[in-house]
Amino acid sequence: MGDPIAGRAFALEVCTPCHRVATDQLSPGRFAVAPDFRAIANTRAMTETALHAFLSTSHPSMPNLILSQHEQDDVIAYIVSLRHQP
Protein backbone atom coordinates (compact mmCIF):
# COMPACT_ATOMS: atom_id res chain seq x y z
CA MET A 1 0.00 0.00 0.00
CA GLY A 2 1.38 3.37 -0.99
CA ASP A 3 1.54 6.69 0.79
CA PRO A 4 -0.87 9.22 -0.78
CA ILE A 5 1.02 12.21 0.67
CA ALA A 6 4.29 11.03 -0.88
CA GLY A 7 2.40 10.24 -4.09
CA ARG A 8 1.01 13.77 -4.25
CA ALA A 9 4.45 15.28 -3.72
CA PHE A 10 5.97 13.04 -6.40
CA ALA A 11 3.16 13.76 -8.87
CA LEU A 12 3.42 17.51 -8.29
CA GLU A 13 7.11 17.28 -9.10
CA VAL A 14 6.94 14.92 -12.09
CA CYS A 15 3.44 14.91 -13.60
CA THR A 16 2.41 18.56 -13.60
CA PRO A 17 3.77 19.45 -17.04
CA CYS A 18 0.86 17.47 -18.49
CA HIS A 19 -1.63 16.73 -15.69
CA ARG A 20 -3.49 18.78 -13.16
CA VAL A 21 -2.50 16.82 -10.09
CA ALA A 22 -4.16 18.85 -7.32
CA THR A 23 -7.03 21.31 -7.13
CA ASP A 24 -4.76 24.05 -5.80
CA GLN A 25 -2.39 23.64 -8.74
CA LEU A 26 -2.38 26.08 -11.59
CA SER A 27 -3.37 24.53 -14.90
CA PRO A 28 -0.65 22.52 -16.60
CA GLY A 29 1.28 23.92 -19.53
CA ARG A 30 -0.43 25.07 -22.70
CA PHE A 31 0.49 21.85 -24.49
CA ALA A 32 -1.10 19.62 -21.88
CA VAL A 33 -3.97 17.45 -23.00
CA ALA A 34 -3.78 14.83 -20.27
CA PRO A 35 -6.71 14.25 -17.91
CA ASP A 36 -6.50 15.63 -14.41
CA PHE A 37 -5.87 13.18 -11.61
CA ARG A 38 -9.35 13.58 -10.13
CA ALA A 39 -10.88 12.60 -13.49
CA ILE A 40 -8.59 9.57 -13.63
CA ALA A 41 -9.58 8.60 -10.09
CA ASN A 42 -13.27 8.81 -10.95
CA THR A 43 -13.05 6.95 -14.25
CA ARG A 44 -15.44 4.04 -14.16
CA ALA A 45 -13.70 0.75 -13.40
CA MET A 46 -10.40 2.45 -12.60
CA THR A 47 -8.74 0.17 -10.09
CA GLU A 48 -5.34 0.05 -8.46
CA THR A 49 -4.55 -2.92 -10.70
CA ALA A 50 -5.51 -0.95 -13.81
CA LEU A 51 -3.36 1.98 -12.70
CA HIS A 52 -0.39 -0.32 -12.06
CA ALA A 53 -0.79 -1.83 -15.53
CA PHE A 54 -1.02 1.62 -17.10
CA LEU A 55 2.03 2.96 -15.27
CA SER A 56 4.05 -0.16 -16.11
CA THR A 57 3.68 0.13 -19.88
CA SER A 58 4.68 2.82 -22.33
CA HIS A 59 2.05 4.93 -24.10
CA PRO A 60 2.57 7.07 -27.19
CA SER A 61 0.90 10.07 -25.57
CA MET A 62 3.05 9.98 -22.42
CA PRO A 63 6.76 10.40 -21.76
CA ASN A 64 8.44 7.09 -21.06
CA LEU A 65 8.66 7.53 -17.31
CA ILE A 66 10.06 4.59 -15.40
CA LEU A 67 8.66 4.62 -11.89
CA SER A 68 9.86 2.31 -9.17
CA GLN A 69 7.28 0.04 -7.58
CA HIS A 70 7.34 2.28 -4.51
CA GLU A 71 6.72 5.43 -6.61
CA GLN A 72 3.88 3.68 -8.45
CA ASP A 73 2.31 2.61 -5.16
CA ASP A 74 2.49 6.16 -3.80
CA VAL A 75 1.09 7.83 -6.93
CA ILE A 76 -1.70 5.27 -7.15
CA ALA A 77 -2.56 5.75 -3.47
CA TYR A 78 -2.81 9.48 -4.12
CA ILE A 79 -4.99 9.04 -7.22
CA VAL A 80 -7.30 6.64 -5.39
CA SER A 81 -7.58 9.13 -2.51
CA LEU A 82 -9.13 11.62 -4.96
CA ARG A 83 -12.19 9.46 -5.68
CA HIS A 84 -15.54 11.13 -5.19
CA GLN A 85 -14.07 14.45 -4.14
CA PRO A 86 -15.92 17.51 -5.48
Q: Cα(29)–Cα(7) distance, rounded to whole angstroms?
A: 21
Question: What DSSP assignment string belongs to 28-75?
Answer: --TT--PPPHHHHHTSTT--HHHHHHHHTS--TTS------HHHHHHH
Q: Is the pLDDT of residue 34 over 90?
A: no
What is the per-residue pLDDT for 56? 87
| pLDDT over 90, % of the chain | 51
The reported pTM is 0.86
Q: Cα(43)–Cα(82) distance, rounded to whole angstroms?
A: 11
What is the per-residue pLDDT for 28? 64
Hey, which of 3-17, 21-35, 61-75 has the most confident mean pLDDT? 3-17
Rounded average pLDDT over 16-33: 75
